[in-house]
Structure 1
Amino acid sequence: MTGLEPTETTTFDMRLGRTVANRGMKRILFSITYPDRLVHPLHRRLVAESSVERAELLMWSPTEDATTLLWCDGDRAATERVVSGIDSLVSCQFVPETDGTYAFLRQDGYEFPTAVLDVIADSRVIFLPPVTFFDDGSVRCETVGEAAALSAFYEALSELGSVSIERVCDFERRHSPSRLSSRQRAALETAVSVGYYERPRDGSVADVADALGCATSTAGELIRKAEAAVIEAYVERD
C-alpha cells in the first residue's frame, strides 16, 4: 500500500470526495480534537492523569451494554483512575502487563455525546481498532470506506472539532503472502532462539550457522535476505 500525504489533492481530494487517479476502497487515519463539551469522560480523566499518556479502545460490542476492551500505557492504579471517570460503568476487570494495563469494561451506555454518536451512526464507513485517546486531548482513529463516504465523514467530523488526516492509503482485504523462503524463516527463528536480536546481543551468526549446520557466510546471507523481506513487507503494509 502506498501512503499519500493529505496535501496531495491531485491524488486524493477530501473536500470534493473523489480520488482523481485511483478510485476504490481507502483507509484513512484521522486525528480529531473535540471541544471540551464533546470530550468523553474517560478521555477527560486521561488528560488529567499524569501517569497515562494514551488509552487504546481495542474492541467493542455492538450491544447497548457497551462491553469494551481498553488498554492504557500506565500501571493498574493509574488505569483505575482513568476508568473512574466513566459514570456508566457497571463492572470492570484489570489485567496488568509489563507495558501497560488491560481493562475489560461493561457499561450501561457509551457516554459519547449525542452529536458524535449521530455522526458515527450516519456514516458509511467502518472503524478499524484501535481508537486511541492521547493525553494532549486528541483522538486517532482509522476508517475504511469508499472515497465519497470518507469525504462525507470528514466533513461531518470537521463540524464537531479540529480534524487532520494523518495517512491515506488503499485498502487491501488481505496482506501479501510472505516472501520468506523456508530456509530464511528457519534462519530468523534460529537467530531469535540463540539471542542474536537480544540487547545486548547474546548470540552470533556463527551460533546460527552451527544450529542450522551450514557455513557462517551462508547463515549471514540467509539472515540478511530474511530481514530485507520482512522490512519490505512491513513498509508496504504501512
Structure 2
Amino acid sequence: MRQVTFETTYPPEAAHPLHRQLMGDGPVSRADVLIWGPTADVTTLTWFDGEPAAVNAALGAIDSATGTQLVAADDGTYAFVRQSAYELPDAALEAVADARAAFVPPISFRASGVARFDAVGEPEALAEFYGDLNGAFDTAVVRVREFRRWSEPAGVTDRQREALEAAVAVGYYDVDRSGSVADVAAELDCAPSTAGELLRRAESAVLTAFVGES
C-alpha cells in the first residue's frame, strides 16, 4: 500500500468558512484537524496556531458549530468543536465519499488556501481519487511512500513528526546534506526558528527512545 500526501488549493469562494478566516492577515494562519468522525454531527479536535481569543473569533465563522471548548497548549490552542455539518464543497465531499482509500490525520488548513492531507490505499485507488479531486480543485501530489504501521516514540508530537518528514523530503538528513532548516520551515509554513526547535525536540525523543530500546 501507499501513503500519499496531497495538497489541494481552494479558491476563497469554495473554501470552508473557517479556512477563509485563515486566508486573511489575522492572528490565526493554520488549523490542523486532528480528530474527526464519520458523520457531520460529531465533535472534532483541531489545533490552531493562535491564542484562544483569536481562535474563538475565527470559529465564529462556522455557522454549523453548535458548541466549542478551547484549551491553550503546544504553542497554540486546541479546539473541541461540535458541528452539524462539515461545510466543505460538495465536489470535495463526493471525492472523499467515493474514494477507495483511508484518510489519516492531520488535515492541515493554511493561510495560502492550501489544505494538506494524507491518504492510504492501493496505487490505483489513490490515482482515481486524485483524478476526481483534481478535476474539481487544483490538487498536487507532494509525497508518495510505502505505508508502514509502527508506533511512534511516545515523546514525538504530530507537529514534530511532520517536521521530521519535511526534513527527510528536502534532503536535510542526506549524507551530503541538500536541504536546510529554512527549507524545512518553508515546507511547514513556519519560521526557521520554530522548525529548528521542532527538529531538535523530535530528534531528542527519537534518539532517546532508540538508545533506551537498544
What is aligned with 2:36?
60
Distance in 2 between the 1:47 and 1:84 partners?
15
How does 1:212-227 map onto structure 2 within 5 Å? none
| 1:136 equivalent among 112, 118, 140 | 112
Identity of aligned residues (%): 44
Distance 1:228 1:134, change over 3 A: closer
Q: Residue type of the partner of 1:96? A: A
Name the CA shift for 1:68/1:229 in 2 (closer, same or farther; >3 Å). Answer: closer
Name the structure 1 match of 2:13: 37
Match of 1:107? Answer: 83
Matched, 1:169 2:145: yes
Which structure ranks higher in relative contact order (CA pairs < 8 Å, sequence separation ≥ 6)? 1
SS in 2 for 1:86: coil
Which structure 2 residue ranges, 5 or more long, are not aligned?
154-202
1:150 and 2:150 aligned:
no
Distance in 1 between the 2:204 and 2:106 partners?
Answer: 28
Given that 1:49 and 1:81 are in contact with CA atoms closer than 8 Å, whether structure 2 keeps it comes out as no
1:92 corresponding residue in structure 2: 68
2:116 paired with 1:117: no
Cα distance change, pair 66–112 in 1 and its aligned pair in 2 (3 A): farther
Which string of whole-angstrom CA distances, capped at 9 and with x for unpartnered residues, describes residues 81-103 of structure 1? 22111001101001112500011
Q: What is the count of residue pairs matched by the alignment?
A: 160
Select between 34-43 and 86-95 the one with higher mean Cα deviation: 34-43
Gaps of 5+ in 1: 1-24, 178-226
How far apart in 2 are the matches of 1:115 and 1:52? 26
- Contact 1:66 1:110 (8 Å CA) reproduced: no
Q: What is the rounded CA distance, in whole Å, between the counterparts of 2:205 and 2:27 in structure 1?
A: 38
- SS of the aligned residue for 2:4 comes to strand
- State the TM-score, normalizing by the size of structure 2: 0.69
Q: What's the Cα RMSD here?
A: 2.3
Q: TM-score, with normalisation over the residues of structure 1?
A: 0.62
Q: Which amino acid aligns with 1:169?
A: R
Equivalent-residue separation in structure 2 for 1:128 and 1:100 (angstroms): 22
Q: Which amino acid aligns with 2:123?
A: A
